[in-house]
A and B are shown apart, each in its own frame.
Chain A
Amino acid sequence: MGLREFISYETVADLHLRPALTAVPEVSLRQAIELMRDNKLGCIFVVDRDGKPLGKFNERQVLRVTRDKVSLDEPVGNHTVPLPKSGIVRLDTPVEEALFGMRENRMRFMCVVDHDGKVIALTGQRGLMEYVVDHFPRQIKVQMMSTKLHLNSREGA
């Protein structure tokens, strides 16, 4: 059975998930950036008091506030971008549907929510790549990471 069949019935729960970072809109940009640095993650989901997603603040927004020299004491809620409907998935969403949402919205991260709509995890392009690696370990894991050519000069006469 090929990957094509797998993605039609496997779900987001089978992708590599990472714990999501969340913050309420009143948190300052400085605190949000510190949180991203400490957790080595390029995205924070801004949530309401019930833990439901309102928007995201990612590296693109960090680039914008840095370029525009915005004060880092401003609340993060002023600098989030809204999450499209297909950018929010549940654990039982088929991988195929999640892929479609990621492509349509050109998103790097997808927000995974539980049945009450609360943010529980995050996945995205990295999660998809790791999913493909898990299916073809014989082809991908054996590759050398070094970039040096084995032959520096022509072999033979």
Chain B
Amino acid sequence: MARKRNPVTPGEFEDPLNNYDPPMYQDELERLLCETEVKSMRITPVHCVSKEMTVSAVLDLMWAKETSCVVVTDEANKPLGVFSSKDVLYKIAGNDALYSQPIEAVMSPNPRTVYATDCPAKALNLMAIGGFRHIPVVDVDGKVVGMLAPRRTTEFLEAHMH
């Protein structure tokens, strides 16, 4: 049975978007956290290494580049894992036998990533609540385009707090 519709009286049409409330932000930082993209933060340089590189060579690279984290990537530049100074503290320090091992054996595999087009609030959620210190930034194909680190995130927050 066909549903009976009330005829619309001309002039009584109500725009449904009249009820739409755009989000209200109490702060400029709050708006930027939700409405900008991760790629507007400082996400480069990022140092990528192959999984065959030795631990010793990676330590040299980290020291020379003054970085505390490298991304281990495959041939297509997709992230396989991350190796950070935290891994040096927990796995390498005092364990000389690991120096000649490939980095694949000691990296933290399957890292959490964010898309370059995600909002900064998502990155902050992963870092402050999830506890991930270094987060590779990937494009829509999953290729590494950058890296988020605590200093880069706090730089973004500070720049918009004052």
Contacts and interface: CB of A to CB of B under 8 A. Distances in A.
Interface of A: 1-4, 7, 30, 33, 36-37, 42, 59-60, 62-67, 69, 72, 96, 99, 102-103, 106, 108, 125-126, 128-130, 132-133, 136, 139-141, 143-145, 147, 149
Contacts of B90: 37
Nearest to B84: A59
Contacts of B36: none
Contacts of A129: 124, 127-128, 150, 153-154, 157
Interface of A is mostly: helix
Given A66-B92, A139-B30, A147-B115, 6 more contacts: A1-B26, A2-B29, A4-B162, A59-B88, A63-B63, A66-B93
Interface of B is mostly: helix
Contact of B62 (A7, A63, A126, A136): A63
Contacts, number: 126
B40 to A, nearest CB: 16
A136 B89 contact: no
Contacts of A130: 128
Contact of B86 (A3, A30, A59, A69): A59
A64 B119 CA distance: 35
Contacts of A141: 125, 129
A146 B155 CA distance: 25
B33 A140 contact: yes
A155 to B, nearest CB: 15
B35 to A, nearest CB: 10
Interface in B75-91: 85-86, 88-90
Contact of A2 (B27, B119, B122, B138): B27
B68 interface: yes
B96 interface: yes
B126 A2 contact: no
Contacts of B126: 143, 145
Contacts of B96: 69
Contacts of B125: 133, 140-141, 143, 145
